[in-house]
């Protein structure tokens, strides 16, 4: 069981992160305001607007963020922006750990969030 736990943590983290992105998209549409998903690769956590808290990722994980150049917020930090019409700035987050790889894609045109392993 102990051998499976790290892999399950990475899978759960990818699902939770995707759910957080979907929440921001829905919030943006409902409120008619832009929402942000912000990822800090060095601190291994993310934040979403309008919530004022951070969500930690497993310490054993490695991450990659691909987002628009104007959404980069410094070394190891960036965001994906969601717009009131449902679209987004688009991007991709890759989570690696315990031999597992999960890719979270955000379509720029539709804002749709998908997870692939």
Distance separating alpha carbons of residues 29 and 14, to the nearest angstrom: 23
Query: pTM of the entire structure?
Result: 0.92
**Does pLDDT of 2 surpass 60?**
no
pLDDT, tens only, 47-97: 999 898 999 999 889 999 999 888 988 788 999 999 999 999 999 999 998
Decide: helix, strand or coil at residue 16.
helix
Q: Which CATH number fits the domain 5-116, given the four candidates 1.10.238.10, 3.20.10.10, 3.40.190.10, 3.55.40.10?
A: 3.55.40.10
pLDDT, tens only, 12-30: 999 999 999 999 999 999 9
Distance separating alpha carbons of residues 37 and 25, to the nearest angstrom: 9
Contacts of 62 (CB under 8 A, 6+ apart): 95, 96, 97
pLDDT at 40: 96
Label residue 1 by pLDDT band (50, 70, 90).
Answer: very low
Sign of CA dihedral 17, 23, 28, 31: negative
% pLDDT > 70, the chain:
95
Name the residue ranges covered by the structural domains of the chain: 5-116
């Amino acid at each position: 069981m102990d051998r499976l736990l790290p892999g399950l943590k990475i899978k759960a983290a990818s699902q939770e992160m995707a759910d957080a992105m979907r929440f921001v998209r829905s919030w943006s549409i409902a409120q008619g305001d832009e929402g942000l998903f912000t990822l800090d690769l060095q601190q291994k956590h993310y934040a979403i607007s309008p919530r004022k808290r951070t969500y930690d990722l497993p310490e054993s994980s490695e991450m990659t963020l691909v987002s628009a150049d104007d959404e980069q917020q410094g070394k190891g930090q960036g965001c994906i922006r969601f717009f009131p019409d449902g679209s987004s700035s688009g991007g991709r987050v890759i989570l690696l750990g315990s031999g597992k790889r999960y890719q979270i894609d955000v379509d720029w045109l539709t804002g749709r969030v998908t997870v692939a392993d």
